[in-house]
Structure 1
Amino acid sequence: MSHPASSRSSISSSPAESESTTLLPPSTATHAHSNPHPHPHTPTHGHVRKSSISARSVSGRSVAGSVRNYGAVSGRPGPSEQVPRVSKLGQRRILTTFPLQATFFILTLLTFAALVLSLILLLNTVFDFSVKFLPYRGSGFTEFWVSLIGAWIGLGGVLFFSHPSYLFFLTTLITFLLHIPIIFLVLLSPSLKRAHVPLILIPLVVTASTLIFTLLSNFLVRRAKKRESMRISRMLTDAAGRERANEEATARALVGIQGKGFWGRIVGFLGGVVGLIAGLTGLILVLLLLIDLSISAYDGSLPLPSSFSTLVKVQPSTSQWPINIHLACTSSNSSLPTIVYTSSSGVPGSIALLPTPIPPANEDAENPGRWLFDLQEQGKVGRVCTWDKPGYGFSDVLSNADLGGITDSLWQALDNSGVIKESEKGLMLVGEGYGGLVSRIFAARHPETVHSFLHLDAQTASTYFSDPSTSQFLSRITSRLFPSLLTPLSLNRLPSVLLRRSTSLSRILASSRPTPSTVRLNEKLRKARLQETMGNQSRTSLSFRTLLESGYKYPSTKPAIILSSKNRMTKDESWSEGQRVLAEEVTSEEGLVDWLQIEDVDHFVCEGSGKQVCEHSIKKLLRK
């Protein structure tokens, strides 16, 4: 039979020795040789029992060896001789179990998917990637933030995987719970459902899955570390607790369960702070989204602005699915042409229906196009129609809203509502600013329906389309894209609601005119202007090609009056040249009735002193 000492020597020289560390400083090990040959009659049953303990695995696998002579008493082996050594890998090995490995892999995969989806949705806010099986009529900004929240929290879960924070777990749990009312709002509110479903369901599912696995990984790692700590403490207490009352605390300190040291505490504190900030960021973002969606759902219950307003279903050739266009036409008078007013960029046509400006505009401000409905109420003109371009006012967002698709939307709205059929004298197209481009393409595609034109300081190809330089492109990103992305966070809408600076109607009919601008209150309008500016304003865009093609079919001989701002022409040579081309080249000499340059007016030439000039021009065209 081999001697016990030789048995211990053979065990300590095993390969596992290189993976283990003692529980005491080296100075205490010198006593290990004080009794190298124990008395042959010394009972060995205690050592046999402790040997079975030493075969246990502190970290999940067997670690041979023992700590020498910890708490030894002269004449017999100390209990520390039988205490199992602790692996250097120690608590790190709890992260290598299959459940935690699988959780980490899935969390990483979901975080990557959320990041990719965020990038796609960011690009989608400018260049629409929608397809036929996703009938989407929203801005895309909300979906982007939902996906970004999932990517952000998932990234925090990956970075803090091995050092989970309870505060990060708590904030992530609240963020996940706040997604439940968002889902109910989107599915139960008719306006939100039409605008966001089904596209928003994709980032919601990805984000919810990411949050679930972030919570799961945080919980599993914390539980595994707690169990490992309890296991080490229990094993050390069983082995050495009989000799010293404070051995458990000593063992905890030595294996790192307790007493991490100064720098360890600093690192742990900083990790907790970073985790809290990461969790709070996601929580605040999802809370702002919930508030904004709640306000949008409330605003969506508002009825149409007039008794003759209607929503007409249209589907332009460039659109994958139908959308609703808000069209408002007064009573018919078949003896006179029907006036169709198209507003400027950033201005919903529905504003013309309102007799007074909506908050926060001043009471003496003028709503663009209102003067036409004043003439109709006075019985001086026949039927007057106005409409909200796609993405404006009560109209749905149109994917890839190029000039051709916008013009087709107007034509189908007029045709489907019966206005074209009832207008025996044709249509008088009144286009203001950007609306002038729409009028020209409309006339080129349907010349037989046109009676005459009234261009109000209208845009032209040379003034609207340009290939911006790098600095101009970056300026557009900072002035249009970034502010647009912030719209769903309710940074402007919520203070406006709380301070009662706006109503549901003013948020739906948000406009750049009258001043102050309220464009920031409506994300659909932000989307439409972003498409106009960054998607369809270059010379390589589909809108530019559409306008060039329309020039060959444009009925230049139809009666036309061009009203231009003298002040703007004086300040801007390119604008002056564009107005000259519209009056002398686009419009033939036979069709040109008048080209009037109105002084003391800005871009909206029918305001102030220019109102009488506009009214007189309408009357002159009616006589043609």
Structure 2
Amino acid sequence: MSKPASNRSSVSSSPTRTSPTEETTTLLPPASQHPHAHPHTPSHPHARKTSISARSVSGRSVAGSVRNYGAVAGRPGPAEQAPRVSKVGQRRILTTFPLQATFFILTLLVFASFVLSLILLLNTIFDFSVKFLPYRGSGFTEFWISLIGSWIGLGGVLFFSHPSYLFFLTTLITLILHIPILFLALLSPSLKRAHAPLILVPLLLTGSTLIFTLLSNFLVRRAKKQESLRISRMLTDAAGRERASEEGTARALVGVQRKGFWGRIVGFFGGVFGLIAGLAGLILVSLLLIDLSISAYDGSLPLPSSSSQLVKVQPASSQWPINIHLACTDSNSTLPTIVYTSSSGVPGSLALLPSPLPPANEGSENPGRWLFDLQEQGKIGRVCTWDRPGYGFSDVLSNADLGGIADALWEALDNAGVIKESKREGLMMVGEGYGGLVSRVFASRHPSNIHSLLHLDAQTASTYFHDPSTTQFLSRMSSRLFPSLLTPLSLNRLPSVLLRKSTSLSRILASSHPSPSSVRLSEKLRKSRLQETIGSQSRTSASFRVLLESGYKYPSSRPAIVLSSEKRMKDDESWAEGQRVLAEEVTSDEGLVEWLQVRGVGHFVCEGDGRGACEGAIGKLLKK
């Protein structure tokens, strides 16, 4: 004898095994679930069973107990407990092939972006990664573009199943802002020369990463919405209700049972991270766009002098040609041509200007200006100054060591016709600070073209090259590399533009001297100083080997004068020893005209009270 039907809906305690592909969130009509019910015969409302994905679930409902759901006055509801939904069924939407393929591709793009970011970061110092992609800039902007793609893509991967509307919106705006960056890099002549085609690689990779991040966000949200609507329709069909209010209640039930406590925690942090990641990417790409716009505007500035010219050179260490800014005065004098090479961090073009650029302090002097004043007075012959690679109007030179820099100067002078015109009289090499090392290598490679040398508190092998300790290396990284990487974000350039503290010329001819330093306004100058210090300042570097090799061919018998800062020699014993070696060992007794220790001056010995000593040194060398 069969037992009477229960007044409450029952749930089978013997689940049926099904394959994972069949384990979906479904809610079949109760009549089709009863083994003896006729397809067209309705079952008693109190004898219905609720089946989920062709199997019954015992125990507590995943959705929670919601009694009398769908009941109306005078008639019991179709079920006093809400239909149960499989947890595996809730994850079904994330296992479809389109979403799996999108997740896989997005993961690959994020990995590629991280690898490219690391390569571009190392390339900012060592110049080893882009031998087949000619570019003449710093590479800092390319690093940031790649980093933005990897950062936003990582957020898309980590919170793939918990998409955020704010993350979608900020990522979309970030992608749109990449379009004007692309146009600026390709249409502005100065930016195209400095960045293309290297910039196309991170732009394409980052654009692809952002597109797939947006696609995954959209597909997951759409799939979840469709699943929610499907379950809602099933719930309302099972209850015999189709009113909008009940559908909203069903949808709310689905949302609760999908998340749970930990699900809500993950969803909250996912939303916060998505907002932070999206806003960070949006802010960074906006700053990059602003900086590139300023650079494009500054790039339209003409050369600073009527004697200025851009000369194409390609040293042996470079994979592609670059432009060097060279300025030589006109002169019919038979006196030797003076070639001035400035100190580290100081563009040679400043010597062309009668007064310092803003925001220099009042009363400051431009290094090398005294030479052009002498030329205007007719006391000396032709004077040439130049911007070393990465300085002023010159392009950045990859793998720039002392040999490459000296070769770039020789090619620039040769291509401009200066070498041929000064072959009889020769060249007087005037090197200040780091420029003294360049002059020595230049003279050793072309001794027959050298008339004389003037060393102005010049660097030497013992003072410039040394193997740094770990602490010193980390100090260099923190003081040079990290501030350099921040330069393309326009954190200094934009305020200087808004507050009118700098002009286009002062941003191009950014300099560490005169004070206050404006090095932070020039991305190329930052790159060059990294090459001069972190990449080339150790005793294992190519620059040190070049300087040692130059000693065998250095024309030590040519007339030479060494001017040193007495104050600096008293404060630094190693500097004093380096100046002594330069005057007494590098220069022979036959070649040494004078070693003068100038009083009352700093590193720039030709300023203030030291100007007379420098002018007197030029006069003594011209008589030789």
Same fold? TM cut 0.5 = yes
Change over 3 Å in CA distance of 1:428–1:223 after alignment to 2: same
Give the corresponding residue for 1:364.
363
How much has 1:333 moved relative to structure 2? 2.9
Cα distance in structure 1, aligned partners of 2:15 and 2:262: 35
> CA contact under 8 A between 1:353 and 1:370: conserved in structure 2?
yes
SS of equivalent to 2:486: helix
> CA contact under 8 A between 1:64 and 1:84: conserved in structure 2?
no
Change over 3 Å in CA distance of 1:465–1:45 after alignment to 2: same
> CA contact under 8 A between 1:432 and 1:457: conserved in structure 2?
yes
Query: What amino acid maps onto 2:452 in structure 1?
Result: S
Change over 3 Å in CA distance of 1:322–1:20 after alignment to 2: closer
Cα distance in structure 2, aligned partners of 1:185 and 1:333: 44
Change over 3 Å in CA distance of 1:41–1:432 after alignment to 2: closer
Cα distance in structure 2, aligned partners of 1:588 and 1:245: 100
> Which digits, 9 at most, give the CA deviation of each residue in 1:480-520, with x for residues without a partner?
00000000000000000000000000000000001000000
Give the corresponding residue for 1:92.
91
SS of equivalent to 1:440: helix
Give the corresponding residue for 1:201.
200
How much has 1:270 moved relative to structure 2? 3.5
Cα distance in structure 1, aligned partners of 2:328 and 2:458: 23
Change over 3 Å in CA distance of 1:53–1:562 after alignment to 2: farther
Query: What amino acid maps onto 1:408 in structure 2?
Result: D
Cα distance in structure 2, aligned partners of 1:353 and 1:20: 79
Mean CA deviation greater in 272-281 or 238-247:
238-247
> CA contact under 8 A between 1:537 and 1:544: conserved in structure 2?
yes
> CA contact under 8 A between 2:433 and 2:458: conserved in structure 1?
yes
How much has 1:455 moved relative to structure 2? 0.3
Cα distance in structure 1, aligned partners of 2:508 and 2:352: 14
Cα distance in structure 1, aligned partners of 2:49 and 2:128: 64
Give the corresponding residue for 1:63.
54
Give the corresponding residue for 2:211.
212
Q: Root-mean-square deviation (CA), in Å?
A: 3.4
Give the corresponding residue for 2:478.
478
> Which digits, 9 at most, give the CA deviation of each residue in 1:148-187, with x for residues without a partner?
0000000010111100000000000000000000000000
Residue 397 (structure 1) aligned with residue 396 (structure 2): yes
How much has 1:93 moved relative to structure 2? 1.2
Give the corresponding residue for 1:343.
342
Give the corresponding residue for 2:42.
46
Residue 316 (structure 1) aligned with residue 312 (structure 2): no
How much has 1:364 moved relative to structure 2? 1.1
How much has 1:332 moved relative to structure 2? 2.6
How much has 1:445 moved relative to structure 2? 0.4
Cα distance in structure 2, aligned partners of 1:472 and 1:285: 30
Query: What amino acid maps onto 1:369 in structure 2?
Result: G
SS of equivalent to 1:106: helix
How much has 1:14 moved relative to structure 2? 1.7
Give the corresponding residue for 2:142.
143
Query: What amino acid maps onto 1:550 in structure 2?
Result: S
Identity %: 79
Change over 3 Å in CA distance of 1:65–1:563 after alignment to 2: same
Cα distance in structure 1, aligned partners of 2:489 and 2:13: 65
Give the corresponding residue for 1:28.
none
Cα distance in structure 2, aligned partners of 1:151 and 1:430: 48
Give the corresponding residue for 2:569.
569
> Which digits, 9 at most, give the CA deviation of each residue in 1:164-216, with x for residues without a partner?
00000000000000000000000000000000000010000000000000000
How much has 1:476 moved relative to structure 2? 0.2
Within a 5 Å distance, the mapping from 1:233-248 to structure 2 comes to 233-242=232-241, 248=247
How much has 1:53 moved relative to structure 2? 12
Mean CA deviation greater in 335-344 or 78-87:
78-87
> CA contact under 8 A between 1:341 and 1:429: conserved in structure 2?
yes
| Number of residues of Structure 1 aligned to a counterpart in Structure 2 | 603
Cα distance in structure 2, aligned partners of 1:361 and 1:543: 32
Gaps (5+ residues) in structure 1? 24-31
How much has 1:331 moved relative to structure 2? 0.4
Give the corresponding residue for 1:29.
none
Within a 5 Å distance, the mapping from 1:67-86 to structure 2 comes to 79-80=78-79, 85-86=84-85
Change over 3 Å in CA distance of 1:121–1:13 after alignment to 2: closer
How much has 1:244 moved relative to structure 2? 11
Give the corresponding residue for 1:26.
none
Give the corresponding residue for 1:282.
281
How much has 1:10 moved relative to structure 2? 8.1
Change over 3 Å in CA distance of 1:295–1:616 after alignment to 2: same
Give the corresponding residue for 1:603.
603
Query: What amino acid maps onto 2:440 in structure 1?
Result: R
How much has 1:136 moved relative to structure 2? 1.2
SS of equivalent to 1:610: helix
Cα distance in structure 1, aligned partners of 2:356 and 2:157: 52
Cα distance in structure 2, aligned partners of 1:457 and 1:580: 11
Give the corresponding residue for 1:620.
620
Query: What amino acid maps onto 2:92 in structure 1?
Result: R
Cα distance in structure 1, aligned partners of 2:242 and 2:578: 99
Change over 3 Å in CA distance of 1:10–1:573 after alignment to 2: closer
Query: What amino acid maps onto 1:546 in structure 2?
Result: V
Residue 179 (structure 1) aligned with residue 178 (structure 2): yes
1:15 to 14, 17, 20: 17
Give the corresponding residue for 2:64.
none
> Which digits, 9 at most, give the CA deviation of each residue in 1:104-131, with x for residues without a partner?
0000110010001000000000000244
Query: What amino acid maps onto 1:149 in structure 2?
Result: I
Query: What amino acid maps onto 1:555 in structure 2?
Result: P
> Which digits, 9 at most, give the CA deviation of each residue in 1:445-498, with x for residues without a partner?
000000000000000000000100000000000000000000000000000000
Query: What amino acid maps onto 2:140 in structure 1?
Result: F
Within a 5 Å distance, the mapping from 1:437-456 to structure 2 comes to 437-456=437-456
Give the corresponding residue for 1:112.
111
> CA contact under 8 A between 2:25 and 2:231: conserved in structure 1?
no
> CA contact under 8 A between 1:331 and 1:383: conserved in structure 2?
yes
> CA contact under 8 A between 1:50 and 1:239: conserved in structure 2?
no
Give the corresponding residue for 1:524.
524
